[in-house]
Amino acid sequence: ATPTAVMVATGKGASQGVLIKGGNALEKAHKVKLVVFDKTGTLTVGKPTVVSAVLFSISSMEEFCNIAIAAESNSEHPIAKAVVEHAKKLYPKHGSQTEYVTEVDDFVVHPGAGVGVKVGDKKVLVGNRRLMQACNVPFGPEVEDYISDNEHLARTCVLVAIDGRVAGAFAVTDPVKPEAARVVSFLHSMGISSIMVTGDNWATATAIAKEVGIQKLFAETDPLGKADKIKELQMKGMTVAMVGDGINDSPALVAADVGLAIGAGTDVAIEAADIVLIKSNLEDVITAIDLSKKTIARIR
């Protein structure tokens, strides 16, 4: 495209909340045959909330919540925020007792899995099944059933292990964006297919994919794994777009022919992308492709 055509399209995009960072993305977007969507915060609203809490090997819900607050207050993950909010709501502090314990030792992040921390003399792990397996925390059928029941309802389970035993768990839900299914089906009508990639587990991911009408998905994928998936698809000769919001999506956003970041997403994702969807509305994936198509048609 000529510099003028790019400028016109960029201006038009900006007025519609689609920030196009350069001519390259604009020239490639019309060729996109496949859109890869991240799940959390991209297809879903990204505001998870706790819908249930259960105890397995600890007797006091208050103690359990206090330990969860101590561990998750240190994490930036939206799931961590949901856990903290829920636990604090269950046990509000009053009067002279206004402080929760949030000072901890040895805080570590396990990307795509959870966190580890020492709360007082207790070794605490908060995260998914994979985290427990990686840290050799065993669990029986009671925990297994809770996980699978919730995952089939498209919920994510947050397991809390204290000193090597799963003490209890939270189930978290994150609703699908209202426009998600419509966008996937419209892309399909344009001859563009959709795939989902996520760090979340297979069962939850499958339930969400079904809700939005995506047939192909890759779950339990770490950030570099997401980028590798994009490269694999490109090697089949396809022009691939990636839509994501998180730090964990940035390698994939860079690898894609066209990286689109959700405006409400993290700065790292916005920086890694070629196009920013300011309104965080998935309809604008179509706006961006349309804009590219019109620009290319005009100059040919």
CB under 8 Å, gap of 24 or more: what pairs does 266-274 form? 269/244, 269/245, 273/21, 273/244, 274/20, 274/21, 274/22, 274/24, 274/25
Interaction of residue 112 with ligand ADP, rule CB under 6 A: yes
Using CB under 6 A, which of 10, 75, 281, 292 touches ligand ADP? 75
The widest CA-to-CA distance across the chain, in whole angstroms, is 73
19 and 13 in contact (C-beta within 8 Å)? Answer: yes
| DSSP code of residue 249 | G
Q: Interface mask (CB under 6 A) for ligand ADP, residues 213-242, using x and -?
A: ------------------------------
SS3 58: coil
Structure tokens at 235: 């090697």
Nearer to Mg ion, 26 or 36 (CB): 36
On whether the CB atoms of residues 120 and 102 are closer than 8 A, the answer is no
Please choose which of Mg ion, ligand ADP, none residue 259 contacts, taking the beta carbon within 5 to 8 angstroms, the exact cut-off set by kind.
Answer: none
Residue 251 binding partner per list ligand ADP, Mg ion, none, with a CB distance cut-off of 5 to 8 Å that depends on partner kind = none
Tell me, yes or no, if 38 is annotated catalytic.
yes
Q: Which residues bind Mg ion (CB under 5 A)?
A: 38, 40-41, 245-246
Q: How far is the CB of 37 from ligand ADP (least distance, A)?
A: 11
Binding residue for ligand ADP (CB under 6 A) from 30, 39, 86, 229? Answer: 39
Q: Which is nearer to ligand ADP, 233 or 289 (CB)?
A: 233
- When asked if residue 246 is in the footprint of ligand ADP (CB under 6 A), the reply is yes
Give the H or E element holding residue 207.
Answer: helix 202-212
Point out the residues that are catalytic: 38
